[in-house]
A and B are shown apart, each in its own frame.
Chain A
């Protein structure tokens, strides 16, 4: 569990800003991400497409292509190690950017070893020309310093653990010989083969059918308990978060706009966006004719965002200040650790 001093904190992200320089202008894909992750915890990151979830994940892995990408500021500390540490310092009249991030060779050791990642589409990260066995074994050899034989044994063991039948024979198969669900199992096997401290899963089940999704989520629940890895689970599906996470961060337009323990997000949402999002989805537990309450308008265009809160054009609670200044991510509500970035949070009706 987290202690106040952060002794059990595995990952800490402070004011992360990741930008892309495009023909059309600067895309501020991530412009204010603050979050932390404790050991053994599953953190859900939810948000609509384009809200900056994947860019946040790729920033943690330092897989942002530079250029066009750029770490414009902020810190990502993994066990205290600065994966990203970019600050602006004033020297006299000059403002200089100081980059204290670790080197790429240090990063290579962390990536794929201490931190594993699963993507929505396993085909993008599997090599179509290499057997599955070789791909797992190479990861294991590189990061765990073991021999070939041992690495292949580990590969077999991992395929068994993720529920692939006849694991040993299937080591010789190529990615295209697996179904979508089985490929995602292979990705999980690779990601967990090095016993990582942190597993980042970016929409791991979005492309899968619902019964296959249930299989993969079930597998992930079991494995994260068995391996004791901390997990960042990225999804746009509030149902997936409700069944998997202990804590949640809600993203909107490149900001974490609310974060809290699972139940507080779902039963005591404070940010108008979170609150309205929960009201807008059809629910199986409510009468069928219950009207849906859509969020008016559309998600913002990151190129033309004004200075204030990005939710302001869609927000029923908006005040004049909302247009001028981005609200800080500050404590709200009862139980500790509930933060929201909003000038005029949702007032809960007394029960």
Chain B
């Protein structure tokens, strides 16, 4: 997948922190280490999946790429151009090329606006077309995303969750972007509706030549839609590989645990599968563990893991991982399975 592909976006050593203010002078007393030294390339036309548990920094990373957040260190390079330090005025033209689809089809649409107003807002912002032309265009867009164009004057509450997500997608496409960050676009939808939206996103990708960063915590959904998948833990990118390769041969112990934790909708597989049950909770990003962020819960951890940060290395072609003990496939899956914490004799 990565061979002979053009780079659309490159992220270099990206670090994002949120200050924590405290005390009565409101001084900074600490920071949330939301994204830590992340390196990532997104190729033109691909879907890059981004998975990780809540708080791992997925949304922050997506928002930073779209220049919606101050970047503390590192670079974002879009189409060969360093956009890290652009002024708001310089960012504006970029908004046409990069768009976002949000998780919550209920919260992200203004309830007082009609579908026409919602979808055409980006056009109005960029002074594109007159009202009549905008109307025709929005109706075309509605058709494209599987909505009835006659519903152009309706309000969000008149639509179901899946239909509202279609409205959000239509809006994100209005300016014909090249790159779309979809942040948990199906997580709030009913299971029977998720497939509709996933199929739609796949169709639109072909039709509009889109590149996706697809953020989600549902690993089955991510595998289905993504060409490559990146795994985050506590603000760190811990593994990235082609979708099949990652799911067939996860190399990072966290990815391995994550994969084994996916409940499979198949009783026989559930009965036979090997479970890796991690101990303990996800640590706080305010006070992240030293060196490897996963060492406090890792079933393979050795003393070195809390002392030396593991390098992000390419263990197989296109398969990168940050772990001192990442196995090369062909060697075993972990045997050291710990029981859940403490308790029952």
- State whether these chains interact: yes
How many inter-chain contacts with C-beta < 8 Å in the A-B complex? Answer: 154
Residues in B whose Cβ lies below 8 Å from that of A124: none
CA distance A212 to B53 in the complex (A): 10
Does B340 reach chain A (CB closer than 8 Å)?
A: yes
Q: A282-B223, A292-B195, A294-B195 given as contacts; is B281 within 8 A of A182 (CB)?
A: yes
Complex contact B263–A263 (CB within 8 A): no
Residues in B whose Cβ lies below 8 Å from that of A296: 196
Does B28 reach chain A (CB closer than 8 Å)?
A: no
Q: A165-B341, A298-B193, A299-B190 given as contacts; is B266 within 8 A of A282 (CB)?
A: no
Contacts of B258-290 to chain A: CB distance below 8 A: 258, 260-270, 275, 277-278, 281-282
Question: Contact flags (1/0) for A236-260 with B, using CB distance below 8 Å?
Answer: 1111111100000000000000000
Does A328 reach chain B (CB closer than 8 Å)?
A: no
Residues in A whose Cβ lies below 8 Å from that of B85: none
Residues in A whose Cβ lies below 8 Å from that of B343: 160-164
Which of B161, B219, B220, B257 is the most central at the interface, judged by chain A CB atoms within 10 Å of its CB? Answer: B220
CA distance A237 to B218 in the complex (A): 11
Q: How many residues of chain B have a CB within 8 Å of chain A?
A: 48
Does B244 reach chain A (CB closer than 8 Å)?
A: yes
CA distance A211 to B234 in the complex (A): 14
Does B247 reach chain A (CB closer than 8 Å)?
A: yes
Q: A280-B191, A281-B195, A281-B220 given as contacts; is B262 within 8 A of A239 (CB)?
A: yes
CB of A132 to closest CB in B, whole Å: 16
Contacts of B93-134 to chain A: CB distance below 8 A: none
Does B243 reach chain A (CB closer than 8 Å)?
A: yes
Complex contact B265–A299 (CB within 8 A): no
Checking B223, B224, B261, B268 against A211 with a beta-carbon cut-off of 8 angstroms, the contacting residue is B261
CA distance A294 to B224 in the complex (A): 14
CA distance A240 to B221 in the complex (A): 16
Checking A214, A281, A295 against B265 with a beta-carbon cut-off of 8 angstroms, the contacting residue is A281
Residues in B whose Cβ lies below 8 Å from that of A281: 191, 194-195, 220, 265
Residue of A nearest to B222 (CB): A282
Residues in A whose Cβ lies below 8 Å from that of B270: 239, 242-243
Residues in B whose Cβ lies below 8 Å from that of A242: 263-267, 269-270
Does B54 reach chain A (CB closer than 8 Å)?
A: yes
CA distance A282 to B247 in the complex (A): 14
Residues in A whose Cβ lies below 8 Å from that of B281: 179, 181-182, 212
Complex contact B190–A236 (CB within 8 A): yes
Complex contact A243–B263 (CB within 8 A): yes
Task: In the complex, identify which listed stretch (A65-73, A194-202, A283-291, A333-341) lies at the interface while the others stay far away.
Answer: A283-291
Residue of B nearest to A252 (CB): B192
Does B198 reach chain A (CB closer than 8 Å)?
A: yes
Q: A276-B192, A284-B223 given as contacts; is B266 within 8 A of A240 (CB)?
A: no
Does B342 reach chain A (CB closer than 8 Å)?
A: yes
Does A324 reach chain B (CB closer than 8 Å)?
A: no
Question: Contact flags (1/0) for B148-165 with A, using CB distance below 8 Å?
Answer: 000000000000111100
Complex contact B247–A284 (CB within 8 A): yes
Does A97 reach chain B (CB closer than 8 Å)?
A: no
Does B6 reach chain A (CB closer than 8 Å)?
A: no
Residues in A whose Cβ lies below 8 Å from that of B267: 242-243, 262-263, 266-267
Does A22 reach chain B (CB closer than 8 Å)?
A: no
Does A213 reach chain B (CB closer than 8 Å)?
A: yes
Q: How many residues of chain A have a CB within 8 Å of chain B?
A: 53
Task: In the complex, identify which listed stretch (A27-35, A100-108, A139-147, A215-223) lies at the interface while the others stay far away.
Answer: A215-223
Does B309 reach chain A (CB closer than 8 Å)?
A: no
Complex contact B162–A292 (CB within 8 A): no
Question: Contact flags (1/0) for B38-64 with A, using CB distance below 8 Å?
Answer: 000000000000000110000000000
Does B332 reach chain A (CB closer than 8 Å)?
A: no
Residues in A whose Cβ lies below 8 Å from that of B344: 161, 163, 222, 226
Does B217 reach chain A (CB closer than 8 Å)?
A: yes
Which of A164, A218, A242, A291 is the most central at the interface, judged by chain B CB atoms within 10 Å of its CB? Answer: A242
Does B199 reach chain A (CB closer than 8 Å)?
A: yes
Checking A179, A218, A282, A298 against B277 with a beta-carbon cut-off of 8 angstroms, the contacting residue is A218
Does A49 reach chain B (CB closer than 8 Å)?
A: yes
Q: A288-B243, A288-B244, A298-B163 given as contacts; is B340 within 8 A of A215 (CB)?
A: yes
Residues in B whose Cβ lies below 8 Å from that of A346: none
Residues in A whose Cβ lies below 8 Å from that of B194: 280-281, 294
Complex contact B190–A284 (CB within 8 A): no
Question: Contact flags (1/0) for A13-27 with B, using CB distance below 8 Å?
Answer: 000000000000000
Complex contact A210–B265 (CB within 8 A): no
Does A58 reach chain B (CB closer than 8 Å)?
A: no
Complex contact B265–A266 (CB within 8 A): yes
Does A209 reach chain B (CB closer than 8 Å)?
A: yes
Q: A209-B54, A209-B282, A281-B220 given as contacts; is B341 within 8 A of A299 (CB)?
A: no
CA distance A226 to B345 in the complex (A): 11
Taking A213-B263, A218-B275, A263-B268 as given, write out 16 further A-B residue pairs in contact, using a Cβ cutoff of 8 Å, ordered by the A residue number.
Answer: A161-B343, A163-B341, A163-B343, A212-B282, A218-B340, A226-B344, A263-B267, A281-B195, A281-B220, A282-B225, A284-B262, A292-B199, A294-B192, A294-B194, A295-B193, A299-B193
4 tightest Cβ-Cβ pairs between the two chains A and B: A239-B263, A294-B195, A282-B224, A214-B261
- Pairs A–B under 8 Å by Cβ, sample size 5: A48-B192, A211-B257, A288-B224, A288-B244, A294-B195
Interface residues of chain B, those whose CB is within 8 Å of chain A, are: 53-54, 160-163, 190-196, 198-199, 217, 219-221, 223-225, 243-244, 247, 257-258, 260-270, 275, 277-278, 281-282, 340-344
